[in-house]
Amino acid sequence: MWRQCCPTCSLFPIAPQHKIGDACLMENTSLSPKPFHFAAAFGAGSLLTLMILCNGTLAAYGSLFFASWVPHLAGSVVALILLLILRPRRAAKARPPIWAYLGGVSGGVTVMLTSATMNTALALSGTIALGLAGQVLFSLFADMRGLFGLPQRMPTQRDYVSLAFIIAGSLVLIFFGGEA
């Protein structure tokens, strides 16, 4: 019966461990991340710290454009090589809509905005803190609406509680944890 709840299940064939039932539960409301998802997201956050360290160092020697241009160039080359080696299977035969290729533009604008606000009274800490707010607001709204064709998922009370703790802890670290 519950198979019907999930028309998007067929969009998930890339992950063999991702069973149809799991996808349905996710749509239902409150799938908690599995330990592997947990580790992957947490690890991605750690990679982000290293990335900011690298790009920030580039920016200290060259221009802010350079510090964004070089990682995008190097990233394109590395991703292309990885694609050629790994040859991941395409998840769907249907071509994605053309706008789905434009995520990089949004990322490019982000760099320009943050490099503008960093040099105002907001400084790095204010820029990061307000950026976290924007990111969280967008992600909650995106989940509620299932924006851009991703699965819809109503945030639970638990989600709001844990978000509040994580944001509070982040603000403590940003404003009191060190000399940013």
Please give the Cα distance from 92 to 23 (Å, whole number). Answer: 17
Q: Is 60 in the site for other proteins (CB under 8 A)?
A: yes
71 Cβ contact partners less than 8 Å away, ≥ 6 residues apart? 51, 54, 55, 58
Q: Which of residues 100-129 bind other proteins (CB under 8 A)?
A: 100-114, 116-117, 120-122, 126-127
Count how many residues are written for the chain. Answer: 180
CB of 7 to other proteins, least distance (A): 13
* Structure token pair of residue 136: 């969280």
Judge contact between 157 and 163, C-beta under 8 A.
Answer: no
Q: At what angle do helices 64-86 and 103-117 cross, to 10 degrees?
A: 150
Q: Is 20 in the site for other proteins (CB under 8 A)?
A: no
CB of 115 to other proteins, least distance (A): 10
Q: Is 38 in the site for other proteins (CB under 8 A)?
A: yes
Q: Is 4 in the site for other proteins (CB under 8 A)?
A: no
User: How many residues sit close enough to other proteins to count as binding (CB under 8 A)?
Assistant: 129
Q: Is 89 in the site for other proteins (CB under 8 A)?
A: yes
CB of 100 to other proteins, least distance (A): 4
